[in-house]
């Protein structure tokens, strides 16, 4: 199998958006927001340290991740987006992309990596995924996204405390 993780290119955007929509994990409004995030990435935020990579297998994008330093913090980074195509979910690709984002952030001096997700039952597998990769659920904000939809924040220390 020929596969690689490489930086996102502008030509990748349509495939990333289709794949994201097909996962059924993201609302149409979230897919629209992703379009804006990726457009901004190439226009502005890449120069501000934001990172985006795709996993390509046999010439097809099967996953992507988007992460960035958190403004006004001491080396805290956020994973903003990660998704794997339906056809290959549950086969280690998400973990591979997550480790790639962590390693890249660590190489930039990151000390803490944060991830936000929903507390609904639809996202149970997502929350279990983060726990599997040694993240700690450090906070929940009840009814954040909507009534009955909590914000769950996961953290992982990438560098020892000073």
pLDDT in tens, 98-117: 999 999 999 999 999 999 99
Relative to beta strand 112-118, strand 76-84 is parallel
33 within domain boundaries: yes
> Quick check: 1 pLDDT over 60?
no
Task: Measure the CA–CA gap between 122 and 106, rounded to whole angstroms.
Answer: 30
Residue 58 per-residue DSSP state: T
Average pLDDT on 23-29 reads 89
Question: Cβ neighbours of residue 155 under 8 Å, at least 6 residues apart?
Answer: 112, 113, 114, 115, 135, 136, 138
Computed over every residue of the chain, the mean pLDDT equals 94
Average pLDDT on 22-28 reads 89
Task: Measure the CA–CA gap between 156 and 136, rounded to whole angstroms.
Answer: 6
61 within domain boundaries: yes
Residue 95, CB-side half-sphere exposure with 13 Å CA sphere: 10
16 within domain boundaries: yes
CATH assignment at residue 44: 3.40.630.30
Q: For the whole model, what pTM was predicted?
A: 0.93
162 within domain boundaries: no
Relative to beta strand 136-146, strand 149-157 is antiparallel
Q: Under a CB-based contact definition with an 8 Å cutoff, are residues 54 and 38 in contact?
A: no
Q: Which backbone phi and psi does 150 adopt, to 5 degrees?
A: -75, 155
- Residue 126 in tokens: 């997502």
75 within domain boundaries: yes
42 within domain boundaries: yes
Place of tokens 């990435």: 41
* Local confidence band at 162 (pLDDT 50, 70, 90 cut-offs): confident
* Local confidence band at 2 (pLDDT 50, 70, 90 cut-offs): low
Task: Measure the CA–CA gap between 143 and 12, rounded to whole angstroms.
Answer: 34
78 within domain boundaries: yes
> Quick check: 161 pLDDT over 90?
no
* Local confidence band at 86 (pLDDT 50, 70, 90 cut-offs): confident
**Domain residue limits at 53:** 3-157
pLDDT in tens, 119-144: 999 999 999 999 999 999 999 999 99
Average pLDDT on 85-96 reads 88
Q: String of b and e for 86-98 (b: at least 16 CB within 10 Å)?
A: eeebeeebbeebb
Domain count, the chain: 1
106 within domain boundaries: yes
The length of the chain in residues reads 162
């Amino acid at each position: 199998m020929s596969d690689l993780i490489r930086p996102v290119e502008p030509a990748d955007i349509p495939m990333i958006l289709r794949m994201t929509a097909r996962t059924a994990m993201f609302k149409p409004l979230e897919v629209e927001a992703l379009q804006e995030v990726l457009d901004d990435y190439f226009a502005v935020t890449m120069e501000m340290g934001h990172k985006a990579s795709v996993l390509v297998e046999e010439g097809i994008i099967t996953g992507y991740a988007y992460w960035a330093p958190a403004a006004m913090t001491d080396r805290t980074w956020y994973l903003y987006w990660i998704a794997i195509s339906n056809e290959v979910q549950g086969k280690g690709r998400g973990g591979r992309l997550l480790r790639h984002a962590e390693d890249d952030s660590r190489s930039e001096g990151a000390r803490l990596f944060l991830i936000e997700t929903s507390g609904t039952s639809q996202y149970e597998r997502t929350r279990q995924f983060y726990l599997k990769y040694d993240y700690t659920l450090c906070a929940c904000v009840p009814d954040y996204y909507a009534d009955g939809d909590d914000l769950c924040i996961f953290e992982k220390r990438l560098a020892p405390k000073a």
